[in-house]
Structure 1
Amino acid sequence: MPEVLSQNEVKRMIAAMSNLKHKCIISLLYSAGLRRSELLNLKISDIDSERMQIRIENAKGGKDRYTLLGKNVLEDLRQYYKKWRPQHYLIEGQNGGPYSGKSVVNVVKEAARRAKIQKNVVPHMLRHSFATHLLEDGVNLRQIQLLLGHNSTKTTEVYTHIANTSMKLIRNPLD
């Protein structure tokens, strides 16, 4: 079973980051359901602010897909772009090359530490949280499958086992 964070925990992680680039990293991983490699390969041209989408090219299995771009994330990305002026990759390292995967792990772990989250938080946990929260909010499993880039709904169905949707409908006998 994938481990997930609550929406509150994710928001605390984002709020805990004072570095705008690091805030964008956490926000993109979660709000777009990105894999770490997908984040690292994003180009400036992959952000479609008109359609509020992010294009993921050559993802796992060599597939392309579109995912969500949140309004708040877009605002942060605009501020980030003005400050950092990335040339090729959306999230670049200090010398203009690709940001390292290890640095992404460190950013996520530091955000969790600052947010006082006791779980061992890794970047992929934000992707699991994205899918689970969408399912809990009533988004169709097929739509979540497309956003995540899964070949089969069977892969996406794992989130039905951890979503709180049906549990919320059951009244505890002691309440």
Structure 2
Amino acid sequence: HQSITPYIFSDEEIARLISATKSLQPYERLPLRRETLSLAMILLYATGLRRGELLQLKLTDFNSKEGTLLIQNTKFHKSRIVPLSPSVRGEVGHYLTLRSKERLPMDTTSSLILNGYTNRAYSGTGFSGNFSALSRALKIFTRKGKTPRIHDFRHTFAVRVLEGWYQKGVDVQVKLPFLSTYMGHVSINSTYYYLKFIEGIASDPFPVL
């Protein structure tokens, strides 16, 4: 399933990464550089979105009333609605308030994760470059001495959800299809993959689909 071993962030590493965005230098055309990159990492960690899904989000995809994100044009061309926790919903709302005050683009077709230089979304390489620089500064490296990938936020999300269910005594097999749908997996096999990272259930008998 995976050719590269996922890096699972610790909660402490996630907190350090988000906190480190506060030290980033804002520029005249990037007044909300810190806030934008912070929100991007919060969304990745809290929702398990793919990098492309995050960067394709438009303002119209955020439903402030329902507290959801509409994910379109996905890897497998399947749209889905992703509910946000109240705290994450608040983070998005706070960011949009700051963005409005800075008179940055607020039309519904504008990118949520906005690069002020282009008034478009960050490119995948540009966003990954910022993240890698933060990881290096914080000395967060994989076992091979490389910085983690953006996609490792998605892996971490899946593992943390499964860990939470297992620790609460929830029947993981029953809940797994819900996680698969939430993450936009085309096959539940992609979700079963993460079970091997959960201590205590990695050796339990699960069906091979």
TM-score past 0.5 threshold: yes
Deviations 1:94-143 (A, max 9, x none): 23122211121022223323443233211100011001100111162111
TM-aligned CA deviation for residue 38 of structure 1? 0.5
Matches for 1:81-160 after TM superposition, within 5 Å: 81-84=96-99, 85-87=104-106, 88-94=110-116, 95-119=118-142, 120-138=147-165, 140-160=175-195
CA distance in 2 between counterparts of 1:145 and 1:115 reads 32
The unaligned stretches of length 5 or more in structure 1 are 168-175
TM-aligned CA deviation for residue 165 of structure 1? 4.7
Q: Which has the higher helix share?
A: 1
Q: 1:34 aligns with which of 46, 49, 64?
A: 49
CA distance in 2 between counterparts of 1:136 and 1:20 reads 29
For 2:154, give the aligned amino acid: R
Change (3 A) 1:118 1:2: closer
The 4+ residue runs of structure 1 with deviation greater than 4 A are none
Task: Name 1:52's counterpart in structure 2.
Answer: 67
Q: 1:25 aligns with which of 40, 62, 67?
A: 40
CA distance in 2 between counterparts of 1:113 and 1:51 reads 37
Cα RMSD, aligned residues only: 1.9
Change (3 A) 1:114 1:164: farther
TM-score calculated relative to the size of structure 2: 0.72
TM-score calculated relative to the size of structure 1: 0.85
The unaligned stretches of length 5 or more in structure 2 are 23-33, 166-171, 203-209
Change (3 A) 1:102 1:76: same
Deviations 1:41-69 (A, max 9, x none): 10111112333221101211111012232
CA distance in 2 between counterparts of 1:105 and 1:27 reads 15
Report if the CA contact (8 A) 1:14-1:111 is conserved: no
CA distance in 2 between counterparts of 1:17 and 1:29 reads 15
For 2:155, give the aligned amino acid: H
Query: Considering only CA atoms, is the larger Rg found in Structure 1 or Structure 2?
Result: 2
Which has the larger displacement, 106-115 or 154-163? Answer: 106-115
Change (3 A) 1:144 1:51: same
Report if the CA contact (8 A) 1:25-1:104 is conserved: no
Task: Name 1:170's counterpart in structure 2.
Answer: none
Task: Name 1:172's counterpart in structure 2.
Answer: none
Are 2:37 and 1:10 equivalent residues in the alignment? no
Secondary structure of the residue that 1:152 maps to in structure 2?
coil
Q: Across the two proteins, how many residue pairs are aligned to each other?
A: 167
For 1:158, give the aligned amino acid: Y
